[in-house]
Amino acid sequence: MKKNQRSIRFLELRLDHGTDAKHKQQWDLRAMALDAANNNYYARAPREGAARSVRIRHSALFDYSDQPFLAILLVLADAEGVNATYENIQTGEAKTFEKGIDEGNRSEAHLVVALTPEMKGTKQIYAAALEECPGLTPSQIYPRMQTAIAGAGKRSQEVQGVVYEWRPIFEIDGLMSRSLLTEISSGRLQSFSLVREFDQNNGLDEPKSLSRRRLELQLEIQEQPEGKVEKVLELLRGAKKIAGEDQFDSMRIVYQQQGDKRPKSATIDLEKEDVDDDAFEKFISRTRTLKLDEPMHHNHTEVQIDFCKLLAKKLIDEKTGE
């Protein structure tokens, strides 16, 4: 990951009512975010002896282009990651920083959520943008988000002397995944690549000054979908099968829309082994690469509002098709 460049993924956060709900008034995600922060629902302690921890470190509300947004800073600490090593570009001299007890490699990701939902029946759908970071994919941040939303969204109602309680049903999906499949099928596929992220100690035969970080396998496309969504799904399932055999984490697609000179990209999470082949298109999310005016590192304790406003702008552009 470069200090002046970031990739973001476009997602949907969904809130709905379960069968145990006694009424179906809309959830207020803004109020829930404030309640979660004020009551410390974010700060669930990791289990004893845990080697990895995902935390919601900080959250904030902000406005951009007269629209309300929620920003969340997620932090991963991984004790099993390789020690940080730096090498002098000119001399080749290397130095390594050992982790201390209970310390882990730190990385972070910002999540920006548009607080004006679309409604599909009783389901509220919020567009969101997630800063890409190994270890902080949608499936990995989901449990932390679910805990906070369940705590802040708890409702109760007394019926004939009995108090009933229920919580929101929370989901994370790729943004507009079905329309994305249609978009890919009507254009031209340029490349498929399977990606595996490494975060492990070097083997005995490997130099200490180097560490494996990322493996990418390019797949050659033999047949274009020619407007057929099912053909896109067939290609995705084939790539998913190869990815499963070789233990890849994610799949990146680069495609070009008809009449558009600029290529687009999308990412699919492959971490869940139980993803059903007939439904896994919901794990597809659009991606976009951002150039930053100022370098940004993974050392923040609070959300970076200027960066989050950039994500908000890209999210609005994505929704409006710009």
Average pLDDT per block of 10 residues along the chain, 322 residues long: 84 87 88 84 70 87 96 89 85 88 88 94 92 84 87 86 88 65 78 74 54 77 80 80 81 79 76 50 70 86 94 88 62
Provide the pairing of β-strand 250-256 with 188-197: antiparallel
The span from the CA of 171 to the CA of 160, in Å, is: 32
Contact 194, 216 (CB under 8 A): yes
pLDDT of residue 288: 82
Q: Phi first, then psi: give them for residue 143, nearest 5 degrees.
A: -60, -40
Give this prediction's pTM.
Answer: 0.70
